[in-house]
Amino acid sequence: MSGNSSWMNSLVNRMATSKFFNYLAGHVLVPYWAWRTPVYAQHGGPRATIPPGDNMQRMMNLILPLKDKTAVGRAKAALAIASNLDEIYAGLDNVGTVHFARFVIIENNMCMISSYDGDFSNYIRDFVAQLGTVFDSVVALIEGGDDMIPTKENIDAFINWVHDRDVYQIPDTATDLLRYGTIGHSAAKADGPDDLRLMPRALILQLHKNPNSLLGSGYRGYPGLSVAQIRHKMGLGW
């Protein structure tokens, strides 16, 4: 790479990873391009697809900001779970499609993380039918949750409310980033042309809209199996 501009070239190469450029990118370029080429904030949770394997062990990651951001608020949330273990266990057993579920407090957010089979709305609807009052006591501690109570009588709105708080899942198939979400571009056009080099920007702009995200659909040790299939095959009953 001889030539007069080669020092300039290596300077620019170094610049790409410099603090200055990082600052410029994050604080100026991202807002500019977010304005110039807006994208839709994609919904949280997995996309609807037909193949059965896509509908097993789907991941839910709810981020629910606590109203009270002190230790008292966090303790209230912890108690709401701890004092309702029977309700939660029986409810999840009766929903029948949940592999794992856990409640985690992270940075004053109540996080509900689970892996479930089938459709998201059905899962939430069945769960609310089983333990609406527990949901009510948790939702009462969450910012923006008051309008949802009692959840059993606001079931459609509550399912939407929960869906809106399930984090965005970055697609495993990278080109989906180019296809979906760009306003007035590409998705409508049947076949390109695209600019694959803009893929990183597509990701950046989507993460600008969706600050929380699940990176890909996540690893599964035994993909394609439902809770009941595992219980059935392992002789645990269902």
Partner 1 sequence: MSTFASRNAFDPADVQGNILRGYHYGRVRHLILEVHHAAAARRWLGQCVSGHPDAPQITTEEHWTTRPASCFNIGLTYFGLKGLGASKASLASFPTEFKAGMAGRSVKLGDIGESAPNYWAEPFDDPSKVQLIASIHADDLVELDRVEQQVVNAGSGAAFILHTARDGWNFDTDHVHFGYKDSISQPRFIGVHDPDNHADGQPQAPIGSMLIGYPTEYQGIRYNIPQPDVLGRNGAFNAFRILAQDVAAFEAYLDTAADELLDHPLSEELLALGAEASFGPDVSRREAMREIVAAKMCGRWRNGVPLALSPTTPNPEHEVSLTNFNYEDNDATGCPYGAHLRRANPREAAIVQRAARHTRRLVRRGVPYGKAFDPAKPDNEERGLLGNFICASLGGQFEALMCDWINLGLEDPQITGSNDPILGANFRETSWFHIPLKSGKNINLQGFPRFISTRGGAYTFLPGIPAIRYLASL
Partner 2 sequence: MDEQDMPQRLVDAVIADFPDHAPGTRPAHTIGLGVTGYFRGSPIARDYCIAEHFQGHNVPVTVRFSNSSGSPVQHDGWSDARGMATRFHLQDDQATDLIAMTLREFFSPTPEDFLEFSKEARPRPVKPDPWWRKILDMLQLKPPNPDPYPGQNESGAPGSLDYANHHRSAQLAALDAAMLGAPVSYARATYNAVHTFIITAPDKTKRYVRFFWQPVAGVEVTDPTAPPVDDYLQGELRERLRDWPAEFLLLMAVGEGGDPLLDPTQAWPLHRSRVVMGMLKLIEIPADQETFCEKMSYNPGRMTRGLEMSDDPVLAARAQAYEVSRKMRGGSPCPFSKG
- Site for partner 1, rule CB under 8 A: 48-50, 52-53, 55, 91, 93-97, 117-119, 121-122, 125-130, 132, 152-157, 159-160, 224, 226-229, 231-233, 238
With CB under 5 to 8 Å by kind, the binding choice for 29 among partner 1, partner 2, none is partner 2
Phi, psi of 26 (to 5 degrees): -70, -35
With CB under 5 to 8 Å by kind, the binding choice for 175 among partner 1, partner 2, none is partner 2
Q: How far is CA 126 from CA 120, 142, 232, in A?
A: 10, 21, 21
* Residues in 166-195 that interact with partner 2 by CB under 8 A: 172-175, 178, 191-195
Residue 203 carries which side chain, given as an amino acid letter? L
Give the x/- contact pattern for partner 2 in 120-159, rule: CB under 8 A. ----------------------------------------
Euclidean distance between CA atoms 202 and 169, whole angstroms: 14
Facing residues of 113 across strands? 61, 102
With CB under 5 to 8 Å by kind, the binding choice for 12 among partner 1, partner 2, none is partner 2
Please report how close the Cβ of residue 177 comes to partner 1 at its closest, in angstroms: 19
Nearer to partner 2, 72 or 190 (CB): 190
- Judged by CB under 8 A, the residue of 204, 207, 228, 231 near partner 2 is 204
The token duo for 1 is 């790479």
Residue 230 engages partner 2 in binding (rule: CB under 8 A): no
Are 90 and 130 in contact, with CB atoms under 8 Å apart? Answer: yes
Residue 47 carries which side chain, given as an amino acid letter? R
Spell out where 123-202 has E strands.
168-169
